[in-house]
Structure 1
Amino acid sequence: MEPAVTLDGITKRFPGVVANDDVDLVVERGSVHALLGENGAGKTTLMNVLYGLYRPTEGRVVIDGEPRTFDSPRDAINAGIGMIHQHFMLVEPMRIWENIVLGNEPTEWFGLRVDDEGAHEAVRELSERYGFGVDPDDRVADVSVGVQQRVEILKALYRGADVLILDEPTAVLTPQEVEELFGVFEELTAQNKTIIFITHKLGEAMHAADEVTVLRDGVNVGTVDTDTVTREQLAEMMVGREVLLERSESTSTPGDPALSVEGLHVEDDRGVEAVSGVSATVREGEVFGIAGVDGNGQSQLVEAITGLRRPTAGAIRFQGDSMVGVSRRERIDRGMAYIPEDRHARGLVMPYDLVQNGVLGSQHDDGFTGGGRIDWEAAGEHADAIIEEYDVRPPNRASTAESLSGGNQQKFIVGREFERDPDLVVATHPTRGVDIGSTEFIHERLLELRSAGKAVLLVSSKLDEVQALSDRLAVMHEGEFTGVVDPATVTEEQLGLLMAGESLDDDAVDHVALDEEVSA
């Protein structure tokens, strides 16, 4: 097979940062090639160079054997390169065919009028040719996220793309939609199209790609064939050391309810109801997981529980006490720790150093105050302990939060919250942006808290994470629980149905006995 894309010695520097360091990459024509690595490894930057969004500091781009210089994405598109970003660029009120031809409309009458009929027919024919099953007349606002992604792919194909770059394409898809996307890959490569997809998920790379290139700290650490490499080997390439992918077994006997939510209704910032009558109980000595595609009310539910958003109806009880009117600070004092979804907005004060950030929420505790003032020596020792225990880099208490990478910011927040010795941990996406080794460490700490009789409410869009750690698992769709299931027996297909808003037959899955958990 001939290379469709060759990147030769690509280096991309930003002020103070080398995002890509002398990266070579060869992608064969008609193949699926995964670009694998942790957040910050340089994957998206490298593909932005290929797509013409960035010009490389050094190196060259070769397309079909011809060196090319791209000054803009338009140049890359003209060379047959298309890119589908994480956030779709579609006009929702418009019809699918209108979105696909937008900016490249066929015309008639000497270019004076858009050929609507011709455009519609071109989109229909393109969808049929690749087996996409997309109705050109549907409005984008009325179709699923998976169909919207196909529309983005059709947009690129309509513009003549032979090489398609997809950036984290499964981030907002259900398991069924992920499988459908991989089926689309097969249809495209069967017609000699080339796919490059960016991911940090080992399983996806192994399942869908012919070859995988691993980036770590901006460097290409190797390209391997998925038929011959193991998940463990890929993980070691990503992290630079051996990683335990399977969590150790631990047992715990659930105790009394620590957190109870009854008939909760919560509105979002626009005043639209985001949580609709949810009820749940999180017991001591268990992990209660919530799965679902982002944006289905998980954020508002967590904010109501932690005191950051006032519910419009319903009750929240922590250790038997009503949380109505109880401040965020008082919830912390009572033993409620919180790992927020947005570490910048909710977890850290970015210009503060790690000593100051380490005592946020605990600055009034006896261990950090003396004579009406914060004991900065004790606060510094506390920050040092978090840095050492949770491997925060650089290991310098004087570092500001904004000077740390996203992964190290996350590790510091996790360490601060776990070191409060809480009775309840509300953990939302606790491993977002951290490497595999740190993910392993955080998972073990969550299970240690569970084994110590603490309660854990875990919210994650990573299906493998929430399924592996949870004792009971709720699935949230459009503000409601569509089911509460046993994560040990439920299948990925069944979870996907629940995430899409479908219900399961009683005999289809072993439900946990908790009638009060499912929303009204």
Structure 2
Amino acid sequence: MPSDTLALEATDISKTFGSVKANDQINLEIKKGKIHALLGENGAGKSTLVNILFGLYKADSGIVKVDGETVDLGRPKDAIDRGIGMVHQHFQLVPVLTVAENIVLGNEPSNKASVIDIENAKVKVKELAEKYQLDVDTEATVEDLPVGTQQRVEILRSLYREADILILDEPTAVLTPQETDHLLQVLKKLASQGVAIIFITHKLREVLEVADEVTVMRNGQVVGSTTPGETDESGLAEMMVGRSVVLRVSKETASPDATVLKVKNLCVKDDRGLLAVNGLSLEVRSGEIFGIAGVEGNGQRELVETITGLRTVDTGEILIGSTSITESSPRQISELGVAHIPEDREKHGLIGAHSVADNLILNRYHKSPFSNRGIRQQKAIADYAKEMVEKFDIRTPSIETPSSSLSGGNKQKAIAAREFS
């Protein structure tokens, strides 16, 4: 039931981290029953804004209204109490708990004897799942679920808490195309039931397909608002970056050279001891992009972990050039020029509590000029980190900022800077 009634209004929102102005006088209006896409490049300030709206950050200045009433969103509980739910890009679930336990966590129902009534909660969850076509098994343990199903659990947790404003931060970043299509249908269903949705994405096709309204941010500011009916992919891209963008890459014919990676009859087991890679052979040559396609869970992760030394080879051989790395350590493989950008940057790409500078030298901290007889050389580390921040446009208040404080895109830039330099 789309309407023009405002569910949430943010006025003149500003937030600074050190010398970086992440949000600068942001104005945003979210209507009930509408899907509002928030679009922008990495570091545009989108995540900072929604973290303010969910009470994770405190704005330096500005006003937020929910249903026309000014609210103080000093903590997530304040946002939840006002009907705001958020599905984070990196899910906030407890892996060892069941679906039902995760959904009620922090809002556990109890019976007259003050005992947690999990069975009653399961009934309510099943009703919500059926209503919004979010099929889940309430008895399943979260760590056993595929990513797309875990996301449904996150959405159901917000709906269980009666959220009527739902924020989704890059929700399709970890989904397959089929899961993405299903999610977009779910969002349309939620909007038709009156839920106001803030949808953060980089994917222009998704914006044009599902959004009712679009706000574009650049360098911490709102640079414009539009609707899918008034623009196209080229128009949105130009608003995002401030210049004309060629959306289609003209691919030249590759001229591969010598083989740099050879995998021969490789067999690798997964964490359960089952064969994940079975007799795989491939060759990657210098100057080519070698794609490996497949639905998640078909051995891609195990293959990458084996090539980078994180998983043991069962049988077979891997060579970099003419050097066998079948029994080599990750450091030895890195020394041979193998870079690794993992699928989960939070878990395997960065040490969140460590500074940006420390993360940029994780693969070379033991070498000169960063170390002298085991003693850190702070000036060399700082100089190198500043160079990488500028070269790769890593938007951070300082090289001493914990990497966990960076936006998702800037975390990815930091990993790329480390691995490709």
TM-score range, shorter chain: 0.7 to 0.9
Which amino acid is 1:178 matched to? T
Cα distance in 1 for partners of 2:400, 2:94 equals: 40
Look up the match of 2:43. Answer: 40
Look up the match of 2:373. Answer: none
Look up the match of 2:77. Answer: 74
Q: Structure 1 residues 308, 234: CA separation in 2 closer, same or farther (over 3 Å shift)?
A: same
Cα distance in 2 for partners of 1:65, 1:318 equals: 62
Look up the match of 1:26. Answer: 29
Q: Cα distance, 1:8 vs. partner? A: 0.2
Cα distance in 2 for partners of 1:195, 1:290 equals: 34
Contact 2:11/2:63 (<8 A) preserved: yes
Cα distance in 2 for partners of 1:326, 1:141 equals: 30
Q: Cα distance, 1:211 vs. partner? A: 1.7
- What root-mean-square deviation, in Å, do the aligned CA atoms of Structure 1 and Structure 2 show? 4.1
Residues 1:51 and 2:54 are matched in the alignment: yes
Alignment of 1:479-494 (within 5 A): none
Q: Cα distance, 1:20 vs. partner? A: 0.8
Q: Cα distance, 1:212 vs. partner? A: 1.8
TM (norm. structure 2) is 0.76
Cα distance in 1 for partners of 2:153, 2:125 equals: 10
Look up the match of 2:150. Answer: 148
Cα distance in 2 for partners of 1:107, 1:249 equals: 61
Cα distance in 1 for partners of 2:135, 2:155 equals: 13
Look up the match of 1:214. Answer: 216
Look up the match of 1:237. Answer: 239
Q: Cα distance, 1:158 vs. partner? A: 1.5
**Helix, strand or coil for the counterpart of 1:206?**
helix
1:264-290 alpha-carbon deviations (Å, 9 max, x no partner)? 34578x897796334322235532113
Q: Cα distance, 1:43 vs. partner? A: 1.1
Which amino acid is 1:181 matched to? L
Residues 1:338 and 2:361 are matched in the alignment: no
**Helix, strand or coil for the counterpart of 1:286?**
coil
1:159-191 alpha-carbon deviations (Å, 9 max, x no partner)? 111000111111221111111111111111111
Q: Which residue of 75, 87, 91 maps to 2:90?
A: 87
Cα distance in 2 for partners of 1:256, 1:186 equals: 50
Cα distance in 2 for partners of 1:308, 1:129 equals: 43
Contact 1:401/1:409 (<8 A) preserved: no
Q: Structure 1 residues 265, 4: CA separation in 2 closer, same or farther (over 3 Å shift)?
A: same
Cα distance in 1 for partners of 2:99, 2:400 equals: 46
Which amino acid is 2:261 matched to? L
Cα distance in 1 for partners of 2:331, 2:142 equals: 43
Cα distance in 1 for partners of 2:400, 2:83 equals: 44
Look up the match of 1:315. Answer: 317
Cα distance in 2 for partners of 1:42, 1:273 equals: 43
Q: Cα distance, 1:390 vs. partner? A: 6.1
**Helix, strand or coil for the counterpart of 2:100?**
helix
Look up the match of 1:107. Answer: 110
Q: Structure 1 residues 275, 156: CA separation in 2 closer, same or farther (over 3 Å shift)?
A: same
Q: Structure 1 residues 129, 351: CA separation in 2 closer, same or farther (over 3 Å shift)?
A: closer
Larger radius of gyration: 1
Q: Cα distance, 1:85 vs. partner? A: 1.4
Q: Structure 1 residues 69, 289: CA separation in 2 closer, same or farther (over 3 Å shift)?
A: same
Q: Structure 1 residues 258, 212: CA separation in 2 closer, same or farther (over 3 Å shift)?
A: same
Which amino acid is 1:146 matched to? G
Q: Cα distance, 1:14 vs. partner? A: 2.3
Q: Which residue of 233, 249, 252 maps to 2:251?
A: 249
Q: Which residue of 204, 207, 212 maps to 2:206?
A: 204
Q: Structure 1 residues 194, 332: CA separation in 2 closer, same or farther (over 3 Å shift)?
A: closer
Residues 1:13 and 2:19 are matched in the alignment: no
Contact 1:392/1:411 (<8 A) preserved: no
Contact 2:394/2:414 (<8 A) preserved: no
Residues 1:134 and 2:136 are matched in the alignment: yes
Cα distance in 2 for partners of 1:82, 1:332 equals: 42
1:466-509 alpha-carbon deviations (Å, 9 max, x no partner)? xxxxxxxxxxxxxxxxxxxxxxxxxxxxxxxxxxxxxxxxxxxx
Further displaced range: 51-60 or 320-329: 320-329
Alignment of 1:501-520 (within 5 A): none
Contact 2:277/2:303 (<8 A) preserved: no
Look up the match of 2:277. Answer: 276
Q: Structure 1 residues 297, 217: CA separation in 2 closer, same or farther (over 3 Å shift)?
A: farther
1:415-448 alpha-carbon deviations (Å, 9 max, x no partner)? 64xxxxxxxxxxxxxxxxxxxxxxxxxxxxxxxx
Cα distance in 1 for partners of 2:115, 2:330 equals: 60
Contact 1:206/1:226 (<8 A) preserved: yes
Which amino acid is 1:67 matched to? T
Cα distance in 2 for partners of 1:143, 1:327 equals: 31
Cα distance in 2 for partners of 1:131, 1:4 equals: 24
Which amino acid is 2:149 matched to? V
**Helix, strand or coil for the counterpart of 2:243?**
coil
Alignment of 1:290-305 (within 5 A): 290-291=292-293, 298=300, 301-302=303-304, 304-305=306-307
Q: Structure 1 residues 295, 241: CA separation in 2 closer, same or farther (over 3 Å shift)?
A: farther
Look up the match of 1:189. Answer: 191
Q: Cα distance, 1:102 vs. partner? A: 3.1
Cα distance in 1 for partners of 2:339, 2:113 equals: 59
Contact 1:344/1:350 (<8 A) preserved: no
TM (norm. structure 1) is 0.63
Q: Cα distance, 1:62 vs. partner? A: 1.0
Q: Structure 1 residues 317, 7: CA separation in 2 closer, same or farther (over 3 Å shift)?
A: same
Q: Structure 1 residues 408, 174: CA separation in 2 closer, same or farther (over 3 Å shift)?
A: closer
Q: Cα distance, 1:47 vs. partner? A: 0.6
Look up the match of 1:122. Answer: 124
Cα distance in 1 for partners of 2:172, 2:69 equals: 32
Which amino acid is 2:30 matched to? V
Cα distance in 1 for partners of 2:312, 2:269 equals: 8
Cα distance in 2 for partners of 1:197, 1:133 equals: 21
Cα distance in 2 for partners of 1:19, 1:254 equals: 43
Q: Structure 1 residues 82, 272: CA separation in 2 closer, same or farther (over 3 Å shift)?
A: same
Look up the match of 2:375. Answer: none
Cα distance in 2 for partners of 1:96, 1:33 equals: 28
Contact 1:166/1:197 (<8 A) preserved: yes
Q: Which residue of 173, 177, 180 maps to 1:178?
A: 180
Q: Structure 1 residues 267, 194: CA separation in 2 closer, same or farther (over 3 Å shift)?
A: same
Identity %: 44
Cα distance in 2 for partners of 1:202, 1:309 equals: 37
Cα distance in 1 for partners of 2:143, 2:29 equals: 38
Which amino acid is 1:183 matched to? Q
Q: Structure 1 residues 70, 344: CA separation in 2 closer, same or farther (over 3 Å shift)?
A: closer
